[in-house]
Amino acid sequence: MDFELKTLTRSRVCSEKCDALVVLVPQHVAEGDDTLSLLIEAATQSGDFDRKPGKLLQAYRTTGIAATRVLLVGAGEGSAKNVRTAVNAAMGAVKGSNAQRVVLCLSLLKDGDAAHMQAAVVACGDAAYSYTATKSKVTPAKLQRTVVAVADAAVAKVGFDKAVGLVKGIALAKEWGNRPANHATPVMLAGAAKELAKLPRIKVEILGPKEVAKLGMGSFMAVARGSEEPLRFIVLRYDGGLKADAPVVLVGKGITFDTGGISIKPASEMDEMKFDMCGAASVLGAFRSLGELQPKLNVVGLIPACENMPDGKAIKPGDVVTSMSGQTIEVLNTDAEGRLVLCDALTYAERFKPRAVVDIATLTGACVVALGAVRSGLFSSDDALAQSLLNAGERSLDLCWRMPLDDDYADGLKSNFADVANIAGRAGGSVTAAKFLQRFVGKFPWAHLDIAGTAWKGGAAKGSTGRPVALLVTYLLEQAAEIAKNPVLVKAKAGSTAVKAPAKKRVKTVSV
């Protein structure tokens, strides 16, 4: 769906021709003598329209309004959350009609509020998204364009552009999260990364099995051993800042299908393990948004991509593997494979001398038990980084919650046969998983987002949510703003050994 921003006051929006006019009406709005204001006032006084968030009143061919349909939608106190609720309700009604061009009127809300704009546009994008990649018959979406009407387009443009860029990133993350495993192999995921290299300032390097072996990523390679699909280690770079600026590194878990390996999962709902690469998909989505928005900062994306399968070469419970860091790991459960691929990626991240590292993974069912589908689990060794991510989550309505990282939680990871075991007991499973990852973090600020409960929905609404792309992009844009204010504080140290970036838009050929 295409978006357009347009200056349309209450009186002018009445003459805008469209298939549906969606008007968000907050509890407190100034009275007016135009047709729309009179309609709102009459409907409210009669009791037919309630301004609570998401409450709807529809009208057809209203005198004095050019739109075929008018939908008045309550926006409550006008918060970003209320706006999202209102737009979700309205778009649900519009999608069931023949509307092709919709005008979404935000003119009654606080003028130029970026949070309102982002909530509204992202909600529209969510409603318009439809998965079609593996369907034989595709019905074209009827809704083609949404015009966002505001009191002053010039004031709202920055927020609008950010929101549209965010929608594109979320849609890409949804698309790859939703694809079946045979249509989203590690090689195909690498192909999606290569496509991103067509965008300005984005470069990609793809490492295959031989290159990964030379790096000594024994833990990552061990997980991939049971699959006939060759692994890929994807390195994305967005160079929007100065060469000396330390980058933010995003690490996304890319298990394109997780059977559990030899510690095989129950058959029930195992199909949903195609979503086990949603951390990787969120990194791809974040880079799609970066390519659109072009902020002034440097970002690196690392995606260790492979399948976790149970064939004769697969790792077994009790095996000991050697990670890139040199630490040995006793694999007590092959279904705790995400941390085995992430630990090598975290070691690799250190060479970039990063400003911060954030890994994103559908890591533990324990996090689903703890937080459900509302908030992602946030673990961090750095208070400032944790607060920045929490704030970004609140502002983007892509919520997270900080979890503990007490050293006592690591006791269960002790092993008689290796430096560390890959699992502890059931109690505090999301925390012990994070404590495992923390062992492989250097001196840089680090955070871990466990998105097992938020990355996808099950049941009748089964599908990827695109989370936490909104959180990540909001955080990155705020980091860019901070860099602009304090450029001296973010330079990489003199004599940095960071890996030299590949040539512009170059894609490295890899071995299979």
Q: Copy the structure tokens of residue 299.
A: 């970002």
The one catalytic residue in 84, 339, 353, 375 is 339
Amino acid sitting at position 262: I
Residue 230 CA: distances (Å) to CA of 144, 221, 259, 319: 39, 10, 16, 21
Query: Active-site residue 265, yes or no?
Result: yes
Query: Active-site residue 339, yes or no?
Result: yes
Q: Copy the structure tokens of residue 11.
A: 């009186």
| C-alpha to C-alpha distance for 287 and 299, rounded to whole angstroms | 9
276 with 253: CB under 8 angstroms? yes
186 with 281: CB under 8 angstroms? no
3-state secondary structure 285-332: HHHHHHHHHCCCCEEEEEEEEEEECCCCCCCCCCCEEECCCCCEEECC
Ramachandran bin of 229, using left for φ above 0, alpha for ψ from -120 to 50, beta for the remaining angles? beta
| C-alpha to C-alpha distance for 248 and 193, rounded to whole angstroms | 18
Long-range (24+ apart) CB contacts under 8 A made by 15-18 are: 15/66, 16/66, 16/67, 16/103, 16/147, 16/149, 17/66, 17/67, 18/66, 18/67, 18/68, 18/99, 18/101, 18/102, 18/103, 18/147
366: nearest Cα among 298, 313, 436: 436
The one catalytic residue in 194, 201, 265, 491 is 265
Residues labelled catalytic: 265, 339
